[in-house]
Amino acid sequence: MIPLVMPKRSEELQYPKIFAEFFAGIGLMRMGLEQTGWSVAYANDIDPDKKEMYEAQFGNVENTFHLGDIHHINPQSIPNVTLATASFPCNDLSLAGSRNGLAGKQSSAYWGFIKILESLGRRRPPIILLENVIGFLNSHGGKDFEEALLALNRLGYVTDAFEINAARFVPQSRVRLFVIGRLSGYEEDILKETPVFYECETRPKALAQFIFTHPEINWVMRDLPPLPMSATKLKSILEDLPRSDWNWWSRERTDYLAAQMSAKHRSQLLEMSRRKKYSYGTVFRRIRRGKSMAELRIDGIAGCLRTPRGGSGRQILVKAGYGNIQARLLTPRECARLMGANDFNISVPLNQALFGFGDAVCVPVITWIAKNYIDPLLRKFQSKREIIAYEMRGEYAVAG
């Protein structure tokens, strides 16, 4: 068993709902948490384009948003907070990425986050929330995920993990892996034996198997309520653009897209065009056997939004019916709606907006986690019966 770092007990602690967001992006983590009463005290990201979108949404953030590499952050500049979030880069963990894992150029930023937590000492936030692609679980045969959680254990955090598909909240298939860490000084918090097989809705077989086969990790599992079942479909988030709008592609470009489809998908698209109503689907271009293919999805759910590197990450909308087929890229507003950020203030060019939303978290997913996991955990901390063994130094800072 890995030894825990045990800070001093205090029966006087109170935990205000303030947080620091690392890898803040355009601020969708903030949007999700604010809906449950949390306030941001500190934000960090390395990308000035994302900061521009963040500031357009939240106003002047010079007192809270710190632009720069996480490896170069001075820990003394970080105020005391109750929660720290880290939606660190997935480039080296995703199937579409380099698969270099946590040693990769981008995803190694996780170790910058760990270094900050270590440097904070007794000022470490009692709760942390990690978010990343599902590939994090399997990266390097599970070694990256194991090392990431053991690093948290060494800092005194016990850990839990679960998966949520954004399709349970919005019409977008977007499965993400979440980790909750919490500081603990309670012996009963540590699972001393191999945990039971925790397969459930939010811990599917592969994750449950990982938990089962890694008893060396300090796990503390919490039961979660059933996820909601969204009835919202793709059609409901689309902008009503007239056929003459410049966003719609030319006939030649649309025909070329159809020609890139497999015989099955092309047949489905033609069937849609024959109906006496409009129906919708989304398309991604992918390389199959060295050839660019257009893959059609028609179940009312968009594919996972991605960053538009090289054009392949741009999701295409098809509208068919009454003998016609039209195609265009999803608009930034539609992408915002797919991320649950319906009213996000969009004032940047197309590619910048698509990159920002494609590299973000889904707002209602974060809100659900806050309501059903983080807030109940916080109430447990506030309880006289179970005060966390953790001593804060200095005053909390809340963004003005």
pLDDT confidence of residue 312: 56
pLDDT of residue 195: 58
Contact 305, 316 (CB under 8 A): no
Q: Helix, strand, coil % (nearest 5) of the chain?
A: 35, 20, 45
- Give the span between the Cα atoms of 196 and 145, in whole angstroms: 20
**What CA–CA distance (Å, rounded) separates 263 from 251?**
20
Give the global pTM: 0.89
Task: Say how far apart CA 257 and CA 78 lie, in whole Å.
Answer: 49
What DSSP element (H or E) covers 394? Answer: none
Residue 29 three-state SS: helix
For position 190, what pLDDT does the model report?
52
**Amino acid letter for position 110:** Y
- How many CB atoms neighbour CB 341 within 10 A? 26
Domains of the chain: 18-231+357-382 (3.40.50.150), 240-330 (no CATH)
Between the CA atoms of 258, 263, 269 and 271, what dihedral angle is there, to the nearest 10 degrees?
140
- Cβ neighbourhood burial of 11 (10 Å; 0-12, 13-18, 19+): exposed
pLDDT along the chain (400 residues), means of 10: 42 77 97 98 96 96 93 94 88 50 59 94 95 90 92 95 97 96 65 65 94 92 92 95 95 96 96 97 87 93 83 84 97 97 95 93 98 93 54 43
What was the pLDDT predicted at 185?
Answer: 59
